Amino acid sequence: MKPREVRTTKKSKPCLTCDPCGIQLFIRGPAGIEEFHRLLEGSMRADVLSRLQEMEQRYRLNCPECGCQFWIEPRLIKTSVFDGSLQGFRCPQKNCRGIVKWERSS
């Protein structure tokens, strides 16, 4: 969650290094480099904390039964047995049968 310096490789391609864990991320291909630059421009316009708050509002749910807060995960998806449509997300708490209904945002 800390900002990282965007470095450039010998072939003038962008790369990132996470110093604490040693992971390196190399951005390759013209389309990838162009998309990376677009993401950088977007991050400069909107601060990270406001973007994280927006993500939390969309993807962190509250169980209507037990009040547990949880993040959306594929394993929690509840679908209709009739047509396979998305019904909502099951609460991950053991012995709770709560379902948070999924409402499309317009």
Residue 89's Cβ-count burial label (10 Å; 0-12, 13-18, 19+) is buried
Same domain, 95 and 63: yes
pLDDT tens for each residue of 57-100 = 888 999 999 999 999 999 999 999 999 999 999 999 999 999 99
pLDDT tens for each residue of 48-62 = 677 777 778 888 999
The pTM for the full model equals: 0.51
Report if residue 52 sits inside a domain.
Answer: no
- Looking at the 3D structure of the chain, how many domains does it have? 2
Report if residue 1 sits inside a domain.
Answer: no
Report if residue 79 sits inside a domain.
Answer: yes
Same domain, 41 and 67: no
Domain that holds residue 90: 59-101
Give residue 52's pLDDT. 76
Q: For residue 84, how many other CB atoms are within 10 A of its CB?
A: 8
Same domain, 63 and 96: yes
Report if residue 91 sits inside a domain.
Answer: yes
